[in-house]
Amino acid sequence: MRVCIVGCGAVGSLFAANLAQLDDVEVWAYDASREHVAAINATGLRLSGAGEVIGRLTATADAAELPPCDFGIVATKAMHTDSAVAATAHAFTDGYVATVQNGLGNEETIAKHVERVIRGTTFPAGKIVAPGHVQWDVKGDTTLGPYDDRTPLDEVQRLADACTRGGMPCAAVADARGPQWRKVIFNASTNPIGALTGLTHGRVCERPDLRGLVSGLVDEGTAVAAAQGIELDADPEALIDHAAKPEVAYGHKASMLQDVEARRQTEIDYLNGGIVRFGKEHGVQTPLNQAIWALVKGVEQSWQQ
């Protein structure tokens, strides 16, 4: 089996290095960072932290070098999906392309360029500490499912089995929208509140007025999911309260807060913006998500002043 990781940042690297442990899987990685690519090809892709792994794989910043692949795993930031998949689509003419990205709309974007798409959502996290070296912060599960009937569940299962054997626990399910929307609702209801206030997750949750706003956002997202017949696989409210505990993620700065502090474009269009868009399509009002989306877009605009 040949697998290409499209976007070999932190999450992409977790998949790439772990899959490269398997004798029956040949791993390629496509990434825009030439330093990262050169380091991976020279000394392998190293993970440290939650697991110590060195993966041997072939990395390239030139999509034309990619051979035909059985599977793609897209792990770019959501705003780079379109360009990354457009560049690499030729490698997946006969293959399947999975997304493990944040947010809503990635499957639709991928399907503009390739025939067979796999929906996915993943919880492991890490960060790049140096070219060729990723710190693995959190282990976690991945859920994959067919995007539409052009993708048989058996093929999804084949990729999920490989990920699990490689050390990235992964389930194949007929409908992966439940876990995907649960994660999107969690992120959309908490990340931008941290980004707009500068508060960590726990400090947001201990303020009744902000916690009430978080619940208002959760309610809207849940209503949009329900209007599509999506059943969440867990209650976002319980996950939010769990994460606020001191021993879990009280002091965690949401990734969107880190983006705002570094003045990097955020994924707001794919989180709250996605909930607003799907809400419009299904006749569900989402005024709070729309307001939060507009405020974070305003933050991004303020950097161009």
Partner 1 sequence: MAAVNVCVAGAGTIGSLLAAHLGRVADVSVLVRREEHARALNRDGLRVSGRADFTARVTAAVDPAELPEPELVIVACKGSDLEAVADRLVGEFAGATLMTIQNGLGAEEIVAARGPWPILSSVTFMSGTRHSDTHVEYVLDTATWIGPYRATTAGSASAVAQLLVSSGLKAESYADLRPAQWSKLIFNATVNGVAALTGLPHDHHFAEEPVGPLVHALMEEGKAAAAGACVVLAEDPWEMNVFATQRGFRHSPSMLEDVRAQRPTEVELINGSLVRAAQANGVPVPLHEAVYALVRGKERSYS
User: Can you spell out the DSSP letters for 253-265?
Assistant: PPHHHHHHHTT--
Residues 166-195 vs partner 1: string with x where CB under 8 A?
Answer: ---------------------------x--
Rule CB under 8 A: choose which of 17, 69, 199, 225 binds partner 1: 199
Q: Could you say which of 41, 58, 258, 290 contacts partner 1 (CB under 8 A)?
A: 290
The Cα-based distances of 34 to 6, 38, 40, 152, 203 in angstroms read 14, 6, 10, 35, 39
Q: Does 293 participate in binding partner 1 (rule CB under 8 A)?
A: yes
- Is the CB of 4 or the CB of 199 nearer to partner 1? 199
| Shortest Å, Cβ 212 to partner 1 | 7
Q: Is 223 in the site for partner 1 (CB under 8 A)?
A: no
Side chain identity at 297, as an amino acid letter?
K
Q: Give yes or no for residue 39 binding partner 1 (CB under 8 A).
A: no
**288 is an interface residue for partner 1 by CB under 8 A:** yes
CA dist., res. 222 & res. 220, Å (int): 5
Query: 292: which 2 tokens?
Result: 């939060």
Total chain residues near partner 1 (CB under 8 A): 28
Q: Does 30 bind partner 1 (CB under 8 A)?
A: no
Residue 302, φ and ψ in degrees, nearest 5: -65, -20
CA 224, 189, 201 angle in degrees (round to 5)? 160
Q: Binding of partner 1 at residue 80 (CB under 8 A)?
A: no
Cα separation, 10 vs 126, whole angstroms: 5
Distances (CA, A) of 73 to 41, 117, 130, 156: 19, 10, 22, 12
**According to the binding rule CB under 8 A, does residue 110 interact with partner 1?**
no
Contact between 271 and partner 1 by CB under 8 A: the answer reads no
For partner 1, the binding residues (CB under 8 A) are: 193, 196-199, 203-204, 207, 209-210, 212-213, 216, 287-288, 290-295, 297-299, 301-303, 305
